[in-house]
């Protein structure tokens, strides 16, 4: 029973780390990456579809993305969707290919992005601590129902704390790496 609670907590904390990595991947660092366009959706035959479902997105060089739609009539639709997005990107069309040059980040914008990254990291730490609280509550409930002894409960809570510390350190590592990436020129 205790091991189930611990495994569940570790599994959920791992998912929090994955969610944090996903959020970090959305924050641009000045290098072109196809995931920058993940949140853009376009109208494709009356239904909203993600950009990756209607076109091929590739990295041409460190500062340029290329989009090649599957159908020619999607070029203006994709262009319009990129312009409407809050990414501040200006697509340039050349026949069937849309090129998106990424402007270099200013120092002020880098500082703003660092604040956003720190907020995302704090959200990750809060999620991990909430999982710890849930696990500890499950242990206390088992103790109250006399399913485990007090010594077992204390040991289990210590183990949960060790797992929590491990995942919080992982959040810190991810934060440091992303911060260094943002601040490097």
Pair of tokens at residue 153: 């409960």
* Domain locations along the chain: 2-26+106-183, 34-101
CATH class of 34-101: alpha beta
Average pLDDT for the chain = 86
Q: Specify the 3-state DSSP secondary structure of 148.
A: coil
pLDDT for res 96: 87
- Tokens 């797992």 found at: 163
The per-residue pLDDT for range 111-156, each reduced to its tens digit, is 888 888 899 899 999 999 999 999 999 999 988 988 888 898 999 9
The per-residue pLDDT for range 37-84, each reduced to its tens digit, is 777 888 888 888 888 888 888 888 878 889 899 888 888 888 888 888
Please give the CATH architecture assigned to the domain spanning 2-26+106-183: Orthogonal Bundle (1.10)
The full 3-state SS of 32-101, as one line of letters, equals: CCHHHHCCCEEEECCEEEEHHHHEEEEEEECCEEEEEECCHHHHHHHHHHHHHCCCCCCCEEECCEEEEE
What is the mean pLDDT of the segment spanning 91-100?
A: 87
Pair of tokens at residue 32: 């072109």
């Amino acid at each position: 029973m205790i091991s189930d609670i611990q495994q569940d907590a570790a599994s959920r904390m791992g998912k929090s780390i994955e969610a944090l990595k996903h959020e970090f991947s959305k924050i641009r660092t000045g290098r072109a990456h196809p995931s920058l366009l993940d949140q853009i959706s376009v109208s494709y035959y009356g239904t909203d579809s993600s950009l990756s479902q209607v076109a091929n997105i590739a990295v041409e060089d460190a500062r340029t993305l290329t989009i090649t739609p599957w159908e020619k009539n999607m070029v203006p639709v994709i262009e319009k969707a990129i312009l409407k997005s809050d990414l501040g990107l200006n697509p340039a069309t050349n026949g069937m290919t849309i090129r998106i040059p990424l402007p270099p980040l200013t120092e002020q914008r880098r500082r703003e992005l660092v604040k956003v990254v720190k907020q995302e990291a704090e959200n990750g730490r809060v999620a991990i601590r909430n999982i710890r609280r849930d696990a500890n509550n499950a242990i206390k409930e088992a103790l109250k129902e006399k399913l485990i002894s007090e010594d077992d409960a204390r040991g289990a809570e210590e183990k949960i704390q060790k797992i929590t510390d491990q995942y919080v350190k992982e959040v810190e590592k991810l934060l440091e790496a992303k911060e260094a990436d943002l601040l490097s020129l």
